[in-house]
């Protein structure tokens, strides 16, 4: 599934911006996205064996999968994304040599049931057409007692004047345009946040998908990004 509910060709968009994606992320988040990812992965891998199996959905340019290997060098890490160009950029990184990456649709994962100890996904689920179906698929591939950690920008429960009215709406599209040459892709970002679920709504989705525990942790004072842990 490549089209968002709004009709945007999300896969085509990510394929277009792939060469400049990492640079744009660092500029727009001022590097904070790397800190969020590190915190989320620390929560993901705790209590698992050194050679555990992890899966990164919406792996993009493989920053998340690489970060898992940095903290668990003996782990087996598989990564999937539906945008081939994003994976191509990621696989050129020296640190990605041990990662098994493939193009796949999050709504129909090509993996056996209960095969992974843990699943990680950063800023991906907001782009899925059928979130409940994708969450059910993720629950299927995680073994009993396993864990999933998701980083995401959720729809705010109330309008935040600075973030929603100014930074996301005006500054981000300009920064993305200057960095990648693709203004439309970074206009999609605030639009997709506004059309997504709130954090409590997403936690309810996780519980309906079969996660017995689901807890959300805001990672920024304004709640602009959150980490969700499902077990």
Kindly report, residue by residue over 6-36, the tens digit of the pLDDT: 446 899 989 998 988 888 778 777 778 888 8
Return the domain boundaries, the chain: 10-230
Give the three-state DSSP class for 32.
Answer: helix
State the pLDDT at residue 26: 81
Measured between alpha carbons, how far is residue 217 from residues 20, 103, 203, 214, 223 in Å? Answer: 29, 30, 11, 10, 9
Phi, psi of 143 (to 5 degrees): -70, 160
Which of 47-61, 69-83, 121-135, 212-226 comes out lowest in average pLDDT?
212-226
**Average of per-residue pLDDT values in the chain:** 87
Instruction: Give the residue, 149 or 29, on which the prediction is more confident.
Output: 149
* Helical H segments across 63-198, by residue range: 63-71, 84-91, 131-141, 161-162, 172-180, 183-195
**E strands present in the chain:** 53-57, 76-81, 100-103, 116-122, 142-152, 214-218, 226-230
Q: Rounded to whole angstroms, how far apart are CA atoms 203 and 157?
A: 14
Which of 6-15, 48-57, 211-220 comes out lowest in average pLDDT?
6-15
State the pLDDT at residue 31: 76
pLDDT value at 180 more than 90: no
CA atoms within 13 A on the CB side of 63: 20
| CATH fold for the domain made of 10-230 | Rossmann fold (3.40.50)
The DSSP code for 163 is: I
Buried b (16+ CB within 10 A) or exposed e, 128-165: beebeebbebbbebbeeebbbbbbbbbbbeeeeeebbe
Instruction: Give the residue, 155 or 86, on which the prediction is more confident.
Output: 86
Instruction: Give the residue, 26 or 58, on which the prediction is more confident.
Output: 58
């Amino acid at each position: 599934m490549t089209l968002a509910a709004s009709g945007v060709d999300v896969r085509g968009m990510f394929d277009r911006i792939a060469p400049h994606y990492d640079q744009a992320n660092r500029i727009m988040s001022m590097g904070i996205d790397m800190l969020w990812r590190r915190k989320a992965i620390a929560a993901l891998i705790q209590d698992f064996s050194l050679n555990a199996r992890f899966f990164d959905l919406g792996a993009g340019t493989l920053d998340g999968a690489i970060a898992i290997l940095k903290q668990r060098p003996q782990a087996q890490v598989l990564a999937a994304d539906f945008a081939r160009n994003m994976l191509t950029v990621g696989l050129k990184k020296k640190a990605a040599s041990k990662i098994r990456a493939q193009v796949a649709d999050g709504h129909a994962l090509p993996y056996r049931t209960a095969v992974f100890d843990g699943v990680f996904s950063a800023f991906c689920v907001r782009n899925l057409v059928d979130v409940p179906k994708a969450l059910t698929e993720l629950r299927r591939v995680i073994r009993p007692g396993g864990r999933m950690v998701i980083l995401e920008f959720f729809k705010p429960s109330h309008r935040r004047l600075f973030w929603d009215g100014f930074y996301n709406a005006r500054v981000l599209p300009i920064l993305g345009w200057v960095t990648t040459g693709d203004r439309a892709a970074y206009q999609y970002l605030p639009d997709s946040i506004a059309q997504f679920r709130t954090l409590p709504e997403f936690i309810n989705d996780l519980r309906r998908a079969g996660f017995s525990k689901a807890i959300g942790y805001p990672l920024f004072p304004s709640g602009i990004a959150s980490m969700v842990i499902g077990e």
